[in-house]
Chain A
């Protein structure tokens, strides 16, 4: 056992418009082993898993199971081939019971089409007993914790009698104790001869369970082989190894007085003891993994979410954070990470989107000054280099980059001192990214303070003066520009204890 090849992926390629997501991907998973996939986001891991699970079709290449070529056109087919996938973001109906969830989509029916609930109950009881799970089959999912549900997902996968189980970041939502339970389960699965494909960013934990490790970068396999032949440092280096592409238009700005001071900012269970400061002309970065609490901190500072305690000073003055309007009046604005959800009003014109937060400037004495509005927007758009057919065009018709620039224009029109930019370059193309960087530099030079939350390390390194790194709701490190390195950020971000890095 352990040497038979269960799954072989050969020469897979997949393109999305404008981007090669996967190129020439080969790797194998052996029976009774855990195969860990590492790589930054966008490296292609999830795309590959979706291909194996039948959600995407590859442009080229072949998948073999037990060395026989198979074609997987949809997840049901994948399930029939013994493949099941536990998704990172679990989709479940909270009103559903445990047994309904386990048999979701495959409820046994008799010949009249009536569900055989007796069978469902018996099998669920058996499964729960086998797994030593203490809850009754008719319990509603909403009564369970996320990790209970995660365990359920796992026993569900087992109940399919799958022998290839894909787990996408299964530990992102569960506690340390539950992680242990999960690892025990994985060991048990291995012993039964099933193989597990395990995707995780938590480098410290993957070495505990991995038999083999494959590292992805830019849609290609960088290295693949037994875990015993590599170590954490090598894997990190392989993950981020690519040289930074292009220069960042970082310009030196005069660093002035403190614009924002945050002290002991806490919302229990989300973030705690957050203290940092921002000076005029500075761009500071916030790095961290998903769920580290960066966005949550920023939303709370901006007045979108609540927090329990903490002091915030603006230009040396203590302020109380009441709502977004107040923050704008205090000269603080925030560009949200989710542009479609918190940024744009899709059906309205770019003009209206741009002036939405500064209506006082264009509505005077009870009447809208349409000419002034057009002038203001025109000026700003040429400064921000927004490309739009007319200012009356609906914003949804623009490209992502231009939408982002319109939203930036909206905030610039408020003449803020402090800009929080949460993932300002997410989902926009390279050219537009460069433009956004340039605008940031210009703003900093103009005496504004910028907080940049980003998951893209190169841009943080390229643009920031200082970087704060968050891990599990706390600031785990602060790095000055001269000490910037991707490895260093990753160590703080993953919570890895490593004294070798100075």
Chain B
């Protein structure tokens, strides 16, 4: 009984990593080129931009928010960074300006969502259009070319171990996200806000401030992703990265971030991104056609969401069951949870409703 319960807990908590492991094993068997240092580096490099966006998205979704403008803001940050590099030849200024633009756009998102209480879906949809327009206006619709050393961000490697920079960024931002969510008051606040905003406020959490923080962090991540994206393709492309916000959402959701808020981890999102990445990679290595690839990707998302909902329902029930067995005295009130409504049928003297 105990062993079975532990097994269940392990399965529940680590299922996403088990899926990743399984996929990894299957891919290794399917194609000898899969498990090579070159290919692993390759996958990580390809995933860097989406995964960095996904970390931002994870923080927001946990807090009950959303950023649909990520792809557009990425493009805007990226072309600004590219242009700044062309004008100044400074890698530092270029990265700095990219991050700044990302944060500025997300500051506007935060104003709409946190201060004016606009629904994040609509507010960031507006920003998505505005940022894309700004990117095109800034470049006059033309690509920014002749980027020179700017491509080092996305294509270079560190001089000591030869680790590609995008992978270093990916790892550093993973650690940062993990740290923010796990070790800071901001992290705890954002979980609480996503889980129940009113209760968070009533617990003394500064909801508005936390939401601003979340968007600004997301903005910095989007800015960095923009620089990496443009430098990887070696062109400042104002109409690049269309739809990347959805790649990011996909990684976050597959990684177990709950769209109802309050649940999600940095490691889960990383795993989610790699599940998508490995899947694409193995399909490319084995020459699966584009059409089938799209179907598979969609099916994976659908499965992840259904699994999330199914697990949530089951979890509530099974834990309830175990408490009821342990603690008979609480039996009577468990219906509160199962029914989803508070039925005040306890005997007691009350004079109002």
Direct A–B touching, Cβ under 8 Å: yes
Does B117 reach chain A (CB closer than 8 Å)?
A: no
Does A490 reach chain B (CB closer than 8 Å)?
A: yes
Q: How far, in angstroms, from A290 to B316 measured CA to CA in the complex?
A: 33
Which among A17, A348, A430 is the interface contact of B192 at CB below 8 angstroms? Answer: A348
Q: What are the residues of chain B within 8 A of A397 when measuring CB–CB?
A: 315-316, 319-320, 323, 337
Q: How far, in angstroms, from A357 to B203 measured CA to CA in the complex?
A: 6
Report the nearest A residue to B260, measured CB to CB.
A347
Interface size on B, residues (CB 8 A): 53
A429 touches B332 (CB 8 A): yes
Does A136 reach chain B (CB closer than 8 Å)?
A: no
B203 touches A399 (CB 8 A): no
Known contacts A345-B262, A366-B183, A401-B330: A429-B206 contact under CB 8 Å: no
Q: How far, in angstroms, from A359 to B195 measured CA to CA in the complex?
A: 17
Which among B319, B333, B352 is the interface contact of A429 at CB below 8 angstroms? Answer: B333
B189-205 residues at the A interface, CB under 8 angstroms? 189, 191-192, 195-196, 198-205
B282-327 residues at the A interface, CB under 8 angstroms? 315-316, 319-320, 322-323, 326-327
Does B350 reach chain A (CB closer than 8 Å)?
A: yes
Does B336 reach chain A (CB closer than 8 Å)?
A: yes
Does A113 reach chain B (CB closer than 8 Å)?
A: no
Q: How far, in angstroms, from A248 to B145 measured CA to CA in the complex?
A: 80
B330 to chain A, nearest CB (A): 4
A214 to chain B, nearest CB (A): 17
Q: What are the residues of chain B within 8 A of A426 when measuring CB–CB?
A: 342, 344
Known contacts A347-B263, A387-B330, A389-B323: A41-B192 contact under CB 8 Å: no
Q: What are the residues of chain B within 8 A of A162 when measuring CB–CB?
A: none
A18 touches B342 (CB 8 A): no
B351 touches A428 (CB 8 A): no
A41 touches B206 (CB 8 A): no
Q: How far, in angstroms, from A357 to B185 measured CA to CA in the complex?
A: 10
Does B343 reach chain A (CB closer than 8 Å)?
A: yes
A242 touches B185 (CB 8 A): no
Does B36 reach chain A (CB closer than 8 Å)?
A: no
- Taken residue by residue from 329 to 365, chain A's Cβ proximity to chain B (1 for < 8 Å, 0 otherwise) reads as 0000010100111111111100010011101100100
Does A328 reach chain B (CB closer than 8 Å)?
A: yes
Q: What are the residues of chain A within 8 A of B350 when measuring CB–CB?
A: 40-42, 455-456
Which among B204, B320, B322 is the interface contact of A324 at CB below 8 angstroms? Answer: B204
Q: What are the residues of chain B within 8 A of A455 when measuring CB–CB?
A: 350-352
Q: What are the residues of chain B within 8 A of A304 when measuring CB–CB?
A: 201-202
B353 touches A368 (CB 8 A): no
A432 touches B258 (CB 8 A): no
Which among A323, A345, A366 is the interface contact of B184 at CB below 8 angstroms? Answer: A366
Does B188 reach chain A (CB closer than 8 Å)?
A: yes
A151 to chain B, nearest CB (A): 22
Q: What are the residues of chain B within 8 A of A249 when measuring CB–CB?
A: none
Q: What are the residues of chain B within 8 A of A398 when measuring CB–CB?
A: 323, 330
Which among B192, B202, B263, B336 is the interface contact of A336 at CB below 8 angstroms? Answer: B202
Instruction: Give the A-B pair count, Cβ closer than 8 A.
Output: 192
B345 touches A21 (CB 8 A): yes
- Taken residue by residue from 275 to 304, chain A's Cβ proximity to chain B (1 for < 8 Å, 0 otherwise) reads as 000000000000111110000000000101
Q: How far, in angstroms, from A456 to B348 measured CA to CA in the complex?
A: 7
Which among A342, A400, A456 is the interface contact of B202 at CB below 8 angstroms? Answer: A342
Which among A242, A291, A328, A341 is the interface contact of B199 at CB below 8 angstroms? Answer: A341
Residue in A399, A428, A458 with the greatest tally of chain B CB atoms within 10 Å? A399
- Taken residue by residue from 257 to 277, chain B's Cβ proximity to chain A (1 for < 8 Å, 0 otherwise) reads as 010111100000000000000
Q: How far, in angstroms, from A346 to B258 measured CA to CA in the complex?
A: 13
B239 to chain A, nearest CB (A): 39
B330 touches A41 (CB 8 A): no
Q: What are the residues of chain A within 8 A of B189 when measuring CB–CB?
A: 359
B168-187 residues at the A interface, CB under 8 angstroms? 182-185
Q: How far, in angstroms, from A54 to B160 measured CA to CA in the complex?
A: 77
Q: What are the residues of chain B within 8 A of A400 when measuring CB–CB?
A: 333, 336, 342
Does A179 reach chain B (CB closer than 8 Å)?
A: no
Does A76 reach chain B (CB closer than 8 Å)?
A: no
Q: How far, in angstroms, from A176 to B347 measured CA to CA in the complex?
A: 33
Report the nearest B residue to A88, measured CB to CB.
B353
A218 touches B347 (CB 8 A): yes
Q: How far, in angstroms, from A328 to B202 measured CA to CA in the complex?
A: 10
A344 touches B196 (CB 8 A): yes
Q: What are the residues of chain A within 8 A of B206 when measuring CB–CB?
A: 323, 325
B206 to chain A, nearest CB (A): 7
Known contacts A18-B332, A41-B344, A389-B319: A289-B202 contact under CB 8 Å: no
Does A393 reach chain B (CB closer than 8 Å)?
A: yes
Q: How far, in angstroms, from A399 to B322 measured CA to CA in the complex?
A: 12
Which among A17, A359, A427, A431 is the interface contact of B342 at CB below 8 angstroms? Answer: A427
Does A196 reach chain B (CB closer than 8 Å)?
A: no
Q: What are the residues of chain B within 8 A of A324 when measuring CB–CB?
A: 201-204
Which among B201, B323, B336, B351 is the interface contact of A457 at CB below 8 angstroms? Answer: B351
- Taken residue by residue from 22 to 64, chain B's Cβ proximity to chain A (1 for < 8 Å, 0 otherwise) reads as 0000000000000000000000000000000000000000000
B199 to chain A, nearest CB (A): 5
A428 touches B204 (CB 8 A): no
- Taken residue by residue from 118 to 152, chain A's Cβ proximity to chain B (1 for < 8 Å, 0 otherwise) reads as 00000000000000000000000000000000000
Q: How far, in angstroms, from A271 to B301 measured CA to CA in the complex?
A: 52
Q: What are the residues of chain A within 8 A of B336 when measuring CB–CB?
A: 399-400, 427
Does B346 reach chain A (CB closer than 8 Å)?
A: yes
Can you report 14 residue pairs joining A to B where beta carbons are below 8 Å apart? A19-B347, A40-B349, A41-B351, A42-B345, A88-B353, A289-B352, A342-B202, A352-B192, A389-B319, A394-B316, A429-B333, A432-B333, A433-B346, A455-B352
Lowest 10 CB-CB distances: which A-B pairs, in order? A290-B352, A345-B195, A41-B350, A399-B330, A18-B332, A397-B319, A19-B345, A324-B204, A347-B262, A342-B202
Residues of A within 8 A of B (CB): 16-19, 21, 40-42, 46, 88, 169, 201, 218, 240, 242, 245, 287-291, 302, 304, 323-325, 327-328, 334, 336, 339-348, 352, 355-357, 359-360, 363, 366-368, 387, 389, 393-394, 396-402, 410, 425-433, 455-459, 486, 490, 493
- Not counting A352-B191, A456-B350, a sample of 11 additional A-B residue pairs whose C-beta atoms are within 8 angstroms of each other reads A41-B353, A218-B347, A290-B352, A327-B204, A347-B262, A348-B192, A348-B195, A363-B188, A427-B344, A429-B346, A456-B349
